[in-house]
């Protein structure tokens, strides 16, 4: 080693962060070269000087200020948790299977409609079992990473977007991040005004907190709407009475792959089964494979699965459930809090108008609109969850027993 190669290694040498060979080479060189030895010694002294810097005391007002700021935060944390749980729940319910973006499928489920794109993979190629779920979760873990700073989250969201609609989207939840990606997962927006169920107040109402900063990104959902294009949106038929707070609400689904002697006949049987159980069924045939989505009241799930199994030979079966009662109650509480805030804002807008404070009124109005949008998105999530819990879903793959597909 010569002076030029040793120079850049001096810092790491002192930290003992070089390979053994490099450590030895640097030690050997600096024991012979006066200039490098001097440089090494100077750096050593510099480090000592650096480390002599005293620790400074935290100012006395630090904690009180921090506590106050935390208390003033809008109750977004509960919403963040609920949103994260939602993202975790949705893919598990498997939309990747159908090759549709989760929002599109979410909308489809609410309407009792499932769309089977022609190019979607067959179940034999893409088994939707625990392994697939694990793979999906592994993927989401990798994209979210252990270090969830805003920039990373934004990067992860980009990565998620590039890897296709089936990937679990990750959105930055730290609201003051440098450049949050808006619309990483656009929640569908309902047309009607949200009318949230009455619920207890969230812990920290924050009248003066800027809203925009903490908004869940909301963007237009045309993609979701287009995803079910052609179907009558008006047929949404499932209505669920508002569940009481902290109810045990389960989203239940089962995946069954079945070999049947006659797929067309089996499809017919499924229709009858659905009718008998007062459920619904959607059936689609693609490249010789039949797929069906059967929805029944959760209490009829076992009966439905037995009946389905009787149709042929079950080649794969998986069942999962997810309790979303907590998320639902969190969302309700959050919505009630936001509703209060919005009411106050509307009053403030009126007051500003009557006082002729045009700018103030416009600002407050924008804030109120943003709030309304966010509430609408949350209401949509809530509706989705409530509807999803009202019916158990059975995803079926029907293959002819002769294996010809």
Residues at the contact surface with other proteins, assessed by CB under 8 A: 7-12, 15, 17, 30-34, 37-39, 41-43, 45-59, 61-63, 65-66, 69-70, 73, 76-78, 80-81, 84, 141, 144-153, 173-178
Q: State the minimum distance, in angstroms, from the CB of residue 195 to other proteins.
A: 27
Q: Which residues contact 104 (CB under 8 A, 6 or more apart)?
A: 115, 165, 223, 224, 226, 227, 228
Q: State the minimum distance, in angstroms, from the CB of residue 150 to other proteins.
A: 7
Which lies closer to other proteins via its Cβ, residue 146 or residue 230? 146
Chain centroid to CA 322: 15
CB atoms within 10 A of CB 246: 12
Opening angle at CA 151, ends 146 and 155, nearest 5:
80
Which lies closer to other proteins via its Cβ, residue 153 or residue 197? 153
Which lies closer to other proteins via its Cβ, residue 231 or residue 326? 326
Which lies closer to other proteins via its Cβ, residue 41 or residue 268? 41
CA 319, CA 197: separation in Å to the nearest integer?
31
Q: State the minimum distance, in angstroms, from the CB of residue 252 to other proteins.
A: 25
Q: State the minimum distance, in angstroms, from the CB of residue 80 to other proteins.
A: 5
Which lies closer to other proteins via its Cβ, residue 15 or residue 232? 15
Token code pair at residue 165: 């609609």
In angstroms, the Cα distances linking 179 to 154, 214, 215 are: 7, 13, 13
Which lies closer to other proteins via its Cβ, residue 178 or residue 190? 178
Which lies closer to other proteins via its Cβ, residue 349 or residue 378? 378
- Helix 34-51 and helix 20-30: axis angle, to 10°? 110
Q: State the minimum distance, in angstroms, from the CB of residue 170 to other proteins.
A: 8
Which lies closer to other proteins via its Cβ, residue 173 or residue 379? 173
Token code pair at residue 113: 């409609």
Q: State the minimum distance, in angstroms, from the CB of residue 388 to other proteins.
A: 21
Q: State the minimum distance, in angstroms, from the CB of residue 248 to other proteins.
A: 18
Q: State the minimum distance, in angstroms, from the CB of residue 122 to other proteins.
A: 33
Which lies closer to other proteins via its Cβ, residue 30 or residue 397? 30
Q: State the minimum distance, in angstroms, from the CB of residue 3 to other proteins.
A: 13
CA 190, CA 251: separation in Å to the nearest integer?
22
Q: State the minimum distance, in angstroms, from the CB of residue 345 to other proteins.
A: 22
Which lies closer to other proteins via its Cβ, residue 48 or residue 239? 48
Which lies closer to other proteins via its Cβ, residue 54 or residue 222? 54
Query: Is the Cβ–Cβ distance between 161 and 184 less than 8 Å?
Result: yes
Query: Is the Cβ–Cβ distance between 14 and 47 less than 8 Å?
Result: yes
Q: State the minimum distance, in angstroms, from the CB of residue 374 to other proteins.
A: 16
Token code pair at residue 87: 């993202």
């Amino acid at each position: 080693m010569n002076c030029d190669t040793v120079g850049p290694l001096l810092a790491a040498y002192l930290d003992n962060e070089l390979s053994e060979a490099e450590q030895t080479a640097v030690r050997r060189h600096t024991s012979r070269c006066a200039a490098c030895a001097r440089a090494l010694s100077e750096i050593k002294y510099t480090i000592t000087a650096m480390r002599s810097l005293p620790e400074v005391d935290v100012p006395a007002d630090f904690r009180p200020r921090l506590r106050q700021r935390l208390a003033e935060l809008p109750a977004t944390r509960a919403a963040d948790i609920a949103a994260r749980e939602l993202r975790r729940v949705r893919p598990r319910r498997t939309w990747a299977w159908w090759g549709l973006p989760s929002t599109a499928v979410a909308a489809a489920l609410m309407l009792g409609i499932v769309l089977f794109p022609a190019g979607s993979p067959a179940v034999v190629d893409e088994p939707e079992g625990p392994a697939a779920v694990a793979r999906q979760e592994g993927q989401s873990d990798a994209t979210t990473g252990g270090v969830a700073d805003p920039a990373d989250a934004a990067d992860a969201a980009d990565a998620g977007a590039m890897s296709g609609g089936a990937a679990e989207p990750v959105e930055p939840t730290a609201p003051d991040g440098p450049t949050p990606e808006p619309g990483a997962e656009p929640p569908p927006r309902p047309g009607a005004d949200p009318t949230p169920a009455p619920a207890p107040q969230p812990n920290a109402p924050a009248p003066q907190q800027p809203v925009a900063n903490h908004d869940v990104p909301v963007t237009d959902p045309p993609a979701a709407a287009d995803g079910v294009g052609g179907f009558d949106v008006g047929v949404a038929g499932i209505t669920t009475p508002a569940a009481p707070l902290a109810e045990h609400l389960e989203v239940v689904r089962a995946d069954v792959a079945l070999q049947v002697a006659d797929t067309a006949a089996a499809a017919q049987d499924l229709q009858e089964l659905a009718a008998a159980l007062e459920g619904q069924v959607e059936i689609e045939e693609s490249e010789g494979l039949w797929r069906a989505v059967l929805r029944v009241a959760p209490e009829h799930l076992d009966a439905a699965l037995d009946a389905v199994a009787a149709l042929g030979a079950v080649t794969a079966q998986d069942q999962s459930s997810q309790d979303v009662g907590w998320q639902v109650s969190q969302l309700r509480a959050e919505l009630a809090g936001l509703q209060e805030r919005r009411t106050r804002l509307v009053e403030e807008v009126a007051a500003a108008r009557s006082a002729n404070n045009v700018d103030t009124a416009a600002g407050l109005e924008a804030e109120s609109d943003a709030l309304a949008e966010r509430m609408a998105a949350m209401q949509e999530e809530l509706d989705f969850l409530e509807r999803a819990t009202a019916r158990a879903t059975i995803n079926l793959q029907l293959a002819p027993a002769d294996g010809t597909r």
